[in-house]
Structure 1
Amino acid sequence: MRVLLTGAYGQLGRSLLDRFPADWVLLACGSAELDITNRAAVDRIVRRFRPQVIMNAAAYTAVDKAETDRIRAMKVNAIGPENLARAARDTGAQLIHISTDYVFDGMKPTPYVESDAPCPVNFYGLSKWEGEKRVQAMLPRAIIVRTSWVFSEYGNNFVKTMLRLAQTQQTIRVVNDQRGCPTYAGDLAQAMITLAADANAAGIYHYCGDKAVSWYEFALTIFSVFSDEYPALRSVEVCPISAASWKQQACRPVNSVMASERTAHQASCWDKALETVLSA
């Protein structure tokens, strides 16, 4: 299998690099090696390398910043994936593109499934939905994987933020009225590798954690798992607050819990995966 990986040095990209089968031929590109918003650069690399699968782990993920940095967010999350889809179409490759739970508005009382209609409430979600539409229009058999609340031993994520704040604060306020499914990037990476090897895989898939929690409940679990290794965490108070009292530029969906109608992949057991992050 010849695979082109974009966004190779983010937390998902690095998790993929840890897990790629040894017999796959891989070209791993960060933004310095390949700017996916540059159509000519994408075409040049794809035609030169001739991948069978393109995995797009590149994304603009700064949800609040996207409200004002709209041009850049749209370029990375919509135009870039469209460039990859076009190059994949022209060379006969498959594309696996990562999207988000934030394409939904959060008003549904039950988990979102693949057939639910997107209706984003912030510009980040809008840019990701636009990316989905452009990819599907260019390459109807492309694989789009929606995921949520991704964390790992790499990069910046909620787990790292909670541990960093605990070093300097005795009280940490965390939103308790938004719910979602934390997802370990290593599990997501493995699901992508499985999809890449499946010649029949196509369309939208949901892949996320197996248990829904609020951000507050997620924080409590993080502190519980890490407290034996870092006893000082036991003295930190985690206080639940409402999203309305936490001033943020971008709205978030109240419910971004997802489930899948169509995949048999084992969901990410995220609380056990925290132990993997701890031991890394």
Structure 2
Amino acid sequence: MTTVARPERPLGDLLREWRRTRGMSQLDLSIEAGVSARHLSFVETGRSRPSPDLILRLAEQLDIPLAERNTMLLAAGYAPAYPSHQLADPELAPLRAAVRQILDGHGPYPAVLVDRQWHLVEANPAVALFTAGVDPRLLVPPVNVLRLTLHPGGLAPRIVNLSQWRGHLLGRLRQQVLATDDAALSALLQELRGYPGGDDVAAPEDDTLSRVVIPLRYRHGDRDLSFVSTTTLFGTPLDVTVSGLAVEAFFPADPVTTATLHALGSSATGVT
């Protein structure tokens, strides 16, 4: 289990920063958390030391990520409330089994498991469709899935609707930075913005599918494949590691893509 050092910044500073990030006044937060505005003011200025329950209640109202809730507790001199296991730890064996079942069961369609900073944790064999031909340096662990996708040496040259897909991914990452205040994600966003491929905003395309969802259109050989994607999070996580995990799964959006993926899957397994 990961241990966390006590932060240098006091609880009041952390709480004030998160409150302002969420666009809430002291009065707004006090009402939502069921505490007096006077007491909340004392907490932010360091004149009052709140209980662990109050810290967690305030963090819940501010929708603060679990890791940062632990940081707030440590800043106030309390023990972390949420464990942070490694995926290889025995405690997470049921989760690993569930993820493996999801990834394997999704074949022959691509699916990956990523952490909250978009590092590749696991993938099913169908992901080879995307990684074939990319710069090997982008596949050296830890592999960042967003960098792999938008880097000129990655998937980008084969993404037919690169401007649209790039805008979609940057929009998701931008929202994640706002929600988590994660410095590593902020740095990643700035890096990805420097890659060529279009504007930061997803450009609309005039076709039936694009009016419903933003598809990924990917060139494979002489065929343009079309995918829709889904994101699966783990419900009610109480572990820091688990709270940041997501399964990104791709489904074929047309008969050509379906037939191609099944043919590739059969070829990989030796089935005729």
Q: TM-score, normalized by length of structure 2?
A: 0.25
Query: Which structure shows the higher helix fraction?
Result: 2
Relative contact order, CA 8 A, sep 6+: which one is greater?
1
Rg larger in structure: 2
Query: Which structure shows the higher strand fraction?
Result: 1
